[in-house]
């Protein structure tokens, strides 16, 4: 199960891993917490009156296309997006948005989905949300809370039979090392790189790459990832820097998607190259024979 804040996050974060898992026969559910109602139209070609008239409906249709491309089950949690506040001072978040929802009320529907779908592995964002968008941070909060609560029969009664996921990961897509590798590969081949300016503005921001424990080889599925991204036409400009790096060069330079194992109830030695390391062994362990580990910060 992957848990995301907005439609398109599932395609920009870990979609090649998702595609590989589906190809290997794993069931995957993507959970989207909000409808992205507060998002902007980022593709100029889609900035049209008919799209602006009902952007939420357009984004729902885009999400359905992306889910079909990825071959995943998809569920909406049904919360309203907060948007990304800007200004100094920052304006208050809109009343009734996901980021301001009561923690238990926001966690309950995710617990219900975990008990319905019964995932062994959960993927979500780190404590900074991947980047500090209020909806991303709230996604982190409820994902971790649901992981803890789903297996407890005393928590959230009426949301299904208890089910305990075994591992939870943070997705880390934009490490400094990855951007440097892309920048150097493009410039070495005489190609224009859009990553130099990004790196110049990196400054002292945290580098999630230093937290990676698990690298999943998935270059074979980068084309599926890109098709799923392009299904989100309002959010993804096909001429943007997302698509500057040729796929064959991406596969050569950085053929993995990267994760941080933060909670595990199975023995899973690090580093890993598989999200399911240790899970088969866990099934064979007698009841009460496993002690959980908290690897997070």
Render each residue's pLDDT in the chain as its tens digit; 297 residues: 999 999 999 999 999 999 999 999 999 999 999 999 988 999 999 999 999 999 999 999 999 999 999 999 999 999 999 888 888 888 899 999 999 999 999 999 999 999 999 999 999 999 998 888 999 999 999 999 999 999 999 999 999 999 999 999 999 988 899 999 999 999 999 988 988 888 888 877 778 889 999 999 999 999 999 999 999 999 999 988 888 899 999 999 999 999 999 999 999 999 999 999 999 744 433 333 333 455 644
Instruction: Give pLDDT tens digits for 115-134.
Output: 999 999 999 999 998 888 99
Count of Cβ atoms closer than 10 Å to residue 272 Cβ: 20
Q: In degrees rounded to 5, what are phi and psi of residue 32?
A: -115, 120
CA dist 146 and 162 (Å) reads 11
pLDDT digits (tens, 9 = 90+) for 122-172: 999 999 988 889 999 999 999 999 999 999 999 999 999 999 999 999 999
Which H, E and C letters describe 163-224, residue by residue?
A: CCCCEEEEECCCCHHHHHHHHHHHHHCCCCCCHHHHHHCCCCCCCHHHHCCEEEECHHHHHH
Distance CA 114, CA 219 (A): 29
Write down all domains in the chain, each with its CATH number in brackets: 2-173+257-294 (3.40.50.10320)
CA 189, 190, 196: angle at the middle one, nearest 5?
95
List, in sequence order, every beta strand (DSSP E) within the chain. 2-4, 29-34, 73-79, 121-124, 167-171, 214-217, 256-264, 293-294
Instruction: Judge whether 93 and 82 are in contact, CB under 8 Å.
Output: yes
Q: Is 38 helix (H, G, I), strand (E, B) or coil?
A: coil
Beta partners for 259? 171, 214
């Amino acid at each position: 199960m992957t848990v995301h804040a907005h439609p398109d996050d599932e395609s920009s974060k870990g979609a090649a891993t998702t595609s590989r898992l589906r190809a290997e026969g794993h069931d995957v559910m993507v959970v989207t917490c909000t409808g992205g109602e507060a998002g902007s139209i980022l593709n100029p070609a889609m900035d049209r009156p008919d799209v602006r008239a009902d952007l939420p409906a357009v984004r729902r249709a885009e999400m359905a296309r992306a889910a079909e491309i990825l071959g995943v089950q998809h569920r909406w949690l049904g919360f309203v997006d907060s948007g990304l506040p800007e200004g100094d001072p920052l304006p208050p978040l809109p009343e009734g948005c996901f980021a301001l929802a009561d923690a238990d009320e926001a966690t309950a529907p995710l617990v219900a989905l975990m008990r319905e779908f019964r995932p062994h592995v959960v993927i979500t964002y780190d404590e900074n949300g991947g980047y500090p968008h209020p909806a991303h941070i709230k996604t982190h909060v409820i994902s971790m809370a649901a992981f803890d609560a789903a297996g407890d029969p005393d928590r959230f009664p009426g949301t299904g039979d208890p089910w305990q996921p075994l591992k939870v990961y943070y997705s880390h897509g934009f490490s400094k090392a990855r951007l440097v590798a892309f920048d150097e590969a493009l410039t070495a081949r005489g190609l224009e790189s859009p990553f130099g300016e990004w790196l110049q503005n990196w400054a002292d921001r945290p580098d999630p790459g230093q937290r990676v424990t698990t690298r999943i080889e998935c270059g074979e599925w980068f084309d599926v990832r890109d098709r799923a991204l392009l299904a989100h036409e309002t959010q993804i400009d096909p001429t943007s820097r997302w698509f500057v790096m040729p796929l064959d060069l991406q596969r050569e330079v950085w053929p993995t998607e990267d994760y941080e194992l933060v909670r595990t109830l199975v023995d899973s030695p690090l580093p890993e190259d598989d999200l399911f390391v240790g899970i088969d062994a866990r099934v064979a362990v007698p009841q009460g024979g496993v002690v959980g580990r908290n690897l997070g910060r």
